[in-house]
Amino acid sequence: MTNPRIFVHSWLPDDTRKRLDQKFDLDIHNSFKSILSGQELIDKVRGVNGIVVQGPIIDLPLINSCSKTLKIVSNVAVGVDNISVKDCSDNNIIVTNTPGVLTDAVADLSMGLLLSVARRIPEGERMVRQDEFKGNPFPLLWGADLNGENIGIIGMGRIGQAVAKRAKPFGLNIKYFNRNRVKEEIEKELDAEKLNLKELLSKCKFIVILCPLTPETKHLISENELGLMRNDGFLINVARGPIVKESALVVALKNKLIAGCALDVYEFEPKYDKMLAKMDNVVLTPHAGSASIGARTGMVNLAVHNIEMYFKNGEVPNPVNPEIL
């Protein structure tokens, strides 16, 4: 019996690579070096039975090129907006993801961005590096206070709750907007209050976006919503770029409708509006929410585990489209 053919578009730890080599007919493209796309990627996946993917778009043309053999696509991420899940389901192809392992890393960066933009930390760092620090005059770099303020979390899943747990010791009052109310015991633990979106935006100084990108959440934050925010409010997005209409955000910042923002993701990533980089009240990071050693290694290993379990005994951990099972 021949081993299943697996194409891996990702970095792999050495021990994981060695283990897979013993079980599968393996073809690896290290995504550290480049991201494949188009015909180059299609040529790689013809005839494969499984794909482990970090980065590239898995769309209908690619699916059609290997639909007769492909059984499973394991994404090295929680979000699956790089994969046409519907087209996979239509072709009876399982899609899996990697929930849980990146929760702490993304929550840590969320708080780091909040603190950075509120306390103007990157501004101060640039001042020192550019030899502009000539003393400590009283009005130097006054920032926003956290204690006693409201933080509004959009998306109260694993990561949203992890951010709330980190925010509470800073004296922030936890408010959230979510499709469903979280369990009562979690609300009590966090002293959290569910609000509708309009209430959340108008009452909270810090708005942190942590919801998935879906057709319903695309441009969830646009001109109207930014207009509802407090003038001293800050927007932090570590979820997916298209949740925020970037052009509307730039206008809101220019017109001082909000005090600042911190972004780890962008609407047309990796491109972004260059006006953002010119604003001192904006903090920008390169989609690094899960970029800790433990999280990224854990994501890869979980994606590989999803593939291994499927071909070992038909088990499907972490399915995104369980309706086809």
Give the residue numbers marked as catalytic: 240, 269, 287
| Residues whose CB is less than 8 angstroms from the CB of residue 228 and which lie 6 or more positions away in sequence, other chains included | 198, 201, 202
CB 305 within 8 A of CB 144: no
From the list 74, 104, 106, 103, the residue with the least C-alpha distance to 300 is: 74
Q: For residue 151, give Cα distances in angstroms to 138, 146, 228, 237, 273.
A: 28, 9, 15, 13, 26
Rounded CA-CA distance 222/244 in Å is 6
CB 93 within 8 A of CB 71: yes
Angle, CA 287 vertex, CA 71 and CA 29 arms, to 5°: 40
Rounded CA-CA distance 177/247 in Å is 23
Rounded CA-CA distance 7/296 in Å is 19
Around Cβ 5, how many Cβ atoms within 10 Å?
A: 19
